[in-house]
Amino acid sequence: MKGEPSFRLVADKEENALRLDAYVAGHILRITRSRARRLILSGAILVNGIPRRPSYTVKKGDSITGTLPDPPAPFPAPEPGAIDVLYQDAALIVINKPPGLVVHPGPGHFSNTLVNALLFRYPELREVGDPKRPGIVHRLDKDTSGLLVVARSPAAYLHLTRQFKSREAVKSYLAVVHGVPESDEGRILLSVGRHPRDRKRMTTKNPRGRAAESRWHVRERFYDACLLEIGLKTGRTHQIRVHCAALGHPVLGDLVYGKRKSTPRKKSGGNAANARHAAKRQMLHAWRLQVIHPETSAVMRFEAPVPEDMESLMMTLRKGEKQGDPQEGFQK
């Protein structure tokens, strides 16, 4: 049976003054109060057709409706799928992840992820690291393309995990962003933490956020857009996207953090103006990666080619007015 059916509960007098999360947990089997809270915050449970907070006080006659999501599979299943492998040996695999591919299973994505395809091609990964995300030592957002290294043995997993945690691994990204910074380079030192009202978003405004540092420099300037190379000193969730937005130059195509904080410049005509608003996903690419090989201790450097959609967008932007490039075009 696929999931549980939609439910509708009507509060009676005796249940008046209960919190919404406690009410749901008390009426739906196998639902804890913490899970009820998460479902309420996600909008999966409504009161009289309206989203409410978990602390909402249930009133007599309230209609509480919702649909429980399918429970996640305990472990990812192997599934055939294309993988662009740039390098592999007995210790690690280096992949060029395409945009639109989720790295590992999670809420809403229980199959058709990179991990599912990896397990089909490399079944030994089942014994490497976290069983729910075997072999994965770092991750990329669904719509971010580029380099991802996967551990192929338990020893390699521990070694690579330590590298990313201690910041020995060196990561460099390319991002096409709205607007043109006045300077050619800079550093962003803003903590990143979970948004207090939207748990799917991150913010620089959370006082309990974790320290985060990004360094950037302009590789190419267009009219009211530019190509940035961004190096990460830390690896917080959504760090580049949040930092670029805080800088006033959000990543093109970013529907979550894409609202501009700077005053937009007068738009140019033609295709270049339209291109800035036509990106189908955030124009962010994990371009270069440097790690130390877990077995040989050799320094390994990898580079992933810019994906077609990002290259096409930049070609269109180049046809518009240029703004004094620090470099003459993008040089790999």
Helix ranges (H only) for the chain are 20-27, 33-42, 114-121, 154-166, 239-247, 270-275, 308-318
- Separation between Cα atoms, residue 185 and residue 231, nearest integer Å: 11
Catalytic residue, chosen from 12, 21, 84, 141, is 141
Name 115's Cβ contacts closer than 8 Å, sequence gap at least 6: 76, 103, 104, 105, 133, 134, 135, 136
C-alpha 272: how far from chain center: 27
- Separation between Cα atoms, residue 227 and residue 244, nearest integer Å: 12
141 included as an active-site residue: yes
- Separation between Cα atoms, residue 9 and residue 23, nearest integer Å: 10
C-alpha 186: how far from chain center: 23
Sign (positive/negative) of CA torsion 181, 182, 186, 187? negative
- For residue 19, what are the β-bridge partners? 57
Point out the residues that are catalytic: 141
